[in-house]
C-alpha cells in the first residue's frame, strides 16, 4: 500500500470513528467524499442521502452526492442535486462545470454549453471550460479555421461517425470532437457518438498533459 493509500485509509477510519461517536456530525460529507474517491460509490451515495435527511440545505453534501452519481453515470440524479444547489447559489462555478459534464455525457450538448458559458463568466480563469466551449459549440478555433480539414467540416456531408472515427484515428482530436458534437445535436440519444466524444476529450486531455 502506498503512502497516499495509507493516509486515505487512516482518514476514512478517523471519520468513521467520529460518526460512531456523534452520528449527527457533519463529518458524513467528508467521509462520503473519501468513499467516492476510493471507488466506494454506493456507500458514498447512501451516506450522503442519509445525512441530507438531517441537513437538507448542506450544499457540500449535495455536491459530493452529485459527483458520486456522475461516477455511477446516473446523470439525471446528478443534475437533480446540482439544480438544487444552483437554485440556492446560482453563482457556483464548480456546479455549472459539473452540470455541463453531466449534460454532455448524456448527450444534451446545448445544455452543456449553457453551463460552460456560466462557468466561464463566473470564473474567467477557468481555461479548461473556455477551451471546451468551441468544441461543444462545434465551431472552429481561431488557429484552425484556415486548415483544409476545418473547411471540410463546414459541410454536413462529413458529419458522420465514420468521418469522426477517421479524425480520431489520425489524431485530429478537436475535429473529431466537433463531428461527434454535431451528431449529438441532431440525435442526443446516439450512444456511440456520446462514447466517442468522451474518448476524444480524454485523448485531448492526455495530449495536453
Is 78 inside a domain boundary?
no
Q: Are 56 and 63 in contact (CB under 8 A)?
A: no
Residues 191, 132 share a domain: no
Q: How many other CB atoms are there within 10 angstroms of residue 188's CB atom?
A: 16
What is the value of pTM for the model shown?
0.87
When divided into structural domains, the chain yields a total of 3
**Domain hosting residue 28, numbered range:** 1-73
State the residue for C-alpha cell 460512531: 20
How far apart CA 171 and CA 176 sit, in angstroms, is: 9
146-180 pLDDT, tens digit per residue, is: 456 666 667 778 889 999 999 999 999 988 999 99
Q: How many other CB atoms are there within 10 angstroms of residue 90's CB atom?
A: 11
Residues 97, 59 share a domain: no
What's the whole-number mean pLDDT along residues 19-41? 95
The CATH number of residue 20's host domain is: 1.25.40.10
Q: What CA–CA distances, in Å, run from 127 to 121, 123, 201?
A: 11, 9, 15
Q: Tell me which of 38-47, 100-109, 134-143 is least confident.
A: 134-143
How far apart CA 82 and CA 80 sit, in angstroms, is: 6
Residues 173, 124 share a domain: no
Amino acid at each position: 500500500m502506498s503512502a497516499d493509500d495509507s493516509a486515505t485509509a487512516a482518514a476514512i477510519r478517523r471519520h468513521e470513528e467520529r460518526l460512531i461517536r456523534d452520528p449527527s456530525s457533519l463529518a458524513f460529507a467528508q467521509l462520503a467524499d473519501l468513499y467516492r474517491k476510493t471507488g466506494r460509490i454506493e456507500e458514498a451515495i447512501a451516506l450522503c442521502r442519509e445525512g441530507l435527511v438531517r441537513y437538507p440545505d448542506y450544499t457540500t453534501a449535495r455536491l459530493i452526492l452529485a459527483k458520486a452519481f456522475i461516477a455511477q453515470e446516473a446523470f439525471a440524479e446528478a443534475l437533480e442535486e446540482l439544480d438544487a444547489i444552483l437554485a440556492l447559489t446560482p453563482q457556483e462555478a464548480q456546479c455549472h462545470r459539473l452540470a455541463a459534464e453531466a449534460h454532455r455525457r448524456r448527450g444534451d450538448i446545448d445544455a452543456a454549453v449553457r453551463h460552460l458559458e456560466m462557468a466561464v463568466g463566473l470564473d474567467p480563469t477557468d481555461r479548461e471550460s473556455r477551451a471546451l466551449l468551441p468544441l461543444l459549440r462545434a465551431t472552429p478555433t481561431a488557429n484552425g479555421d484556415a486548415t483544409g480539414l476545418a473547411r471540410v467540416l463546414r459541410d454536413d456531408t462529413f458529419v458522420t461517425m465514420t468521418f469522426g472515427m477517421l479524425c480520431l484515428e489520425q489524431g485530429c482530436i478537436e475535429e473529431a470532437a466537433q463531428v461527434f458534437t454535431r451528431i449529438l445535436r441532431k440525435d442526443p440519444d446516439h450512444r456511440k457518438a456520446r462514447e466517442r466524444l468522451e474518448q476524444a476529450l480524454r485523448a485531448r486531455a492526455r495530449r495536453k498533459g
